[in-house]
Chains A and B, each alone.
Chain A
Amino acid sequence: MSVTLTIAGLDCFYGEVQVLHGLELELRKGEVLCLLGRNGAGKTTTLKAIMGLVPARAGSITLGTSELTELPAHEVPRAGIAYVPQGRRLFAELTVAENIEIGLMTRNKGKMVRENVLDLFPVLRERLKQRSGTLSGGEQQMLAMARALCLEPEVLLLDEPTEGLMPSMIAKIRETVTGLRERGVSTILVEQRVDAVLSVADRVAFIENGRNRETVDVTQLRDDPEMVRRYVGVG
């Protein structure tokens, strides 16, 4: 399977505090790679570093032939990476339609993409004029996903998309991620819920103290639950 995104020797800092220590990661085309680890291990920072929102002091992040660490942050999504941040980070004062419009603007996508995305999340079609901050938690997550999918990305970064959601919404997100995999989109998923990981991921990378300790196939994880306990502290 060909590699879409490669992270090599990545060092990132918040001020003087080093958060990522020579992180190594490989994302293959059309796979769902899940990052597992304790709070503060560096999972979210990894996603932010890919997006250029946290600068890399050393190392490289390569998408195809593009070196992302050399791009200004606003050029990264245009290269084909879409981001669904933790806590959704919608433009709460803007309407649903305006949030989607911003997603479409990123890579100059048109009406057809908009329709496809709204077909995927029909509930949003009924709420286009509503201020996004007034949506329910589940609807907000749908909108965050929809906004990201407006980029028609090659790589999708999802940071705890199921956090605080009802089971029906979690199922919808799982279904969406699976559908994207079938269309060849590669996904990096940060997730705390082990059951969610097992049901959707192809491979799992265990992040600890800003390092990738081990990357395993999800089948290995099913066979060896001890592995999760070792890195995450829960089984």
Chain B
Amino acid sequence: MGSLVAFFPHLLLATLEGLVTSAVLALTALGLSLVFGVMRIVNVAHGEFFMLGAVLAWAITTTLTGHPALGFAIALVLSPLIVGAIAWIAERLVLRRIEYNPEATIVATIGLLYIIQQLALTFYGPEARPVTPPFNYRIQLPWFGYSGYKLSIIAASALLLLATWFVLTRTRIGLIMRATQYDRETALAFGIPVGRVYGAVFALGAMLAAIAAVLIVPIQQAHYLMGLDPLLLSFIVVIIGGLGSLRGTVIAALLIGVSDGIISVFFSPTLAKIIATLVVAMVLVFRPQGLFGTATK
């Protein structure tokens, strides 16, 4: 009984850390999943939009003087908008011209990945730089104190995911996006400007990654190579959850994030990664459309 009492705070801490990872991962993966779901393309540069979000957050918060919360709030709005605009331009200039051909898109987005990464290296540099959190207070739990900011990441992410769900299922814009996802040609025949929808979805996907990055950068620091991990983890999440499924993405992000937190605390981070990769392999073998995805007809 005594060991169980001693064990609980560790489990709670690991779960909270896992939830923070899940929150950021769910937002990032949702961006990737939306782009694939609606446009049927794999965006290899998705992690770079995440990195760009973090780097821009650093740039904005260091440029602005005053209370850190003000700079952070501005970064939280401005950084995703700039990243969204860049993604929209990339979509218009590159993806549209190759007519969203799946293979060509992979190569093109790999090119985009390197362009964004090298531009970040050139203008931002190789250093990892911190962003001051908007607030610093610890919530005192009976067993330990926990960062109020980390809890606010979980809350903000949950709110954004709910907002995305609302837009997708309850609004006209969401209906247009879903119709485009299910049948591009018929969508055109009913007056849906599919090209514009693609541009908007690509920008929205990048913005979700950028928001996730701005939320996490006070904990993680901005670095020009920081896009790789979120890209790989997002792929893991969308493969498990099912590409294009919002519910699947959120559940898979929770599964990966929380199990990563718990296994990392009690065993080792390497074991957590091994298990995640194993789950992906099992899903690909036994349920290639993902746990919540629908099979391609």
The answer to whether A and B interact is: yes
- Using CB atoms and an 8 Å cutoff, list the residues of chain A in contact with chain B: 51-53, 72-78, 83, 85, 89-94, 98, 101-103, 105-107, 147
How many angstroms between the C-alpha atoms of A77 and B294 in the bound complex? Answer: 30
Name 30 A/B residue pairs within 8 A (Cβ), A-sorted.
Answer: A53-B188, A72-B193, A72-B195, A73-B189, A74-B188, A76-B189, A77-B189, A77-B190, A83-B189, A85-B185, A85-B189, A89-B185, A91-B182, A91-B186, A93-B182, A94-B178, A94-B179, A98-B175, A98-B178, A98-B179, A101-B175, A102-B175, A102-B190, A102-B192, A103-B190, A105-B190, A105-B191, A106-B190, A106-B191, A147-B190
**Could you tell me the distance in whole angstroms from the C-beta of A172 to the nearest C-beta in chain B?**
22
CB-CB under 8 A from B193, the residues of chain A are 72, 74
B213 CB-CB contact with A under 8 Å: no
How many angstroms between the C-alpha atoms of A72 and B178 in the bound complex? Answer: 21
* 8 A Cβ contacts from B153-200 to A: 172, 175-176, 178-179, 182-183, 185-195
Contact between chains at B191 and A89 (CB < 8 Å): no
CB-CB under 8 A from A103, the residues of chain B are 190
CB-CB under 8 A from A74, the residues of chain B are 188, 191-194
How many angstroms between the C-alpha atoms of A89 and B186 in the bound complex? Answer: 7
A-B contact count (CB 8 A): 62
CB-CB under 8 A from A94, the residues of chain B are 175, 178-179, 182
Top-9 shortest CB links A-B: A106-B191, A73-B188, A89-B186, A74-B193, A83-B189, A77-B191, A91-B182, A106-B190, A78-B191
How many angstroms between the C-alpha atoms of A208 and B190 in the bound complex? Answer: 29
* Interface size of B in residues (CB-CB distance below 8 Å): 19
Contact between chains at B183 and A89 (CB < 8 Å): yes
CB-CB under 8 A from B191, the residues of chain A are 74-75, 77-78, 105-107
How many angstroms between the C-alpha atoms of A166 and B190 in the bound complex? Answer: 27
CB-CB under 8 A from A51, the residues of chain B are 188-189
Task: Name, among B182, B186, B194, the residue most crowded by chain A CB atoms within 10 Å (CB to CB).
Answer: B186
How many angstroms between the C-alpha atoms of A91 and B195 in the bound complex? Answer: 18
* 8 A Cβ contacts from B106-157 to A: none
Closest to B192 in A: A74
* 8 A Cβ contacts from B185-228 to A: 185-195
CB-CB under 8 A from A78, the residues of chain B are 191
Contact between chains at A52 and B188 (CB < 8 Å): yes
Known: A74-B193, A77-B190, A105-B176. 18 other contacts (CB 8 A): A53-B185, A53-B189, A72-B195, A73-B188, A76-B189, A78-B191, A85-B185, A89-B185, A91-B182, A91-B183, A93-B294, A94-B175, A102-B175, A102-B179, A102-B192, A105-B172, A105-B175, A105-B190
Closest to A93 in B: B182
How many angstroms between the C-alpha atoms of A101 and B195 in the bound complex? Answer: 21
**Could you tell me the distance in whole angstroms from the C-beta of A96 to the nearest C-beta in chain B?**
13
How many angstroms between the C-alpha atoms of A154 and B189 in the bound complex? Answer: 15
CB-CB under 8 A from B179, the residues of chain A are 91, 94, 98, 102
**Could you tell me the distance in whole angstroms from the C-beta of B245 to the nearest C-beta in chain A?**
11
CB-CB under 8 A from A72, the residues of chain B are 193, 195
How many angstroms between the C-alpha atoms of A74 and B186 in the bound complex? Answer: 10
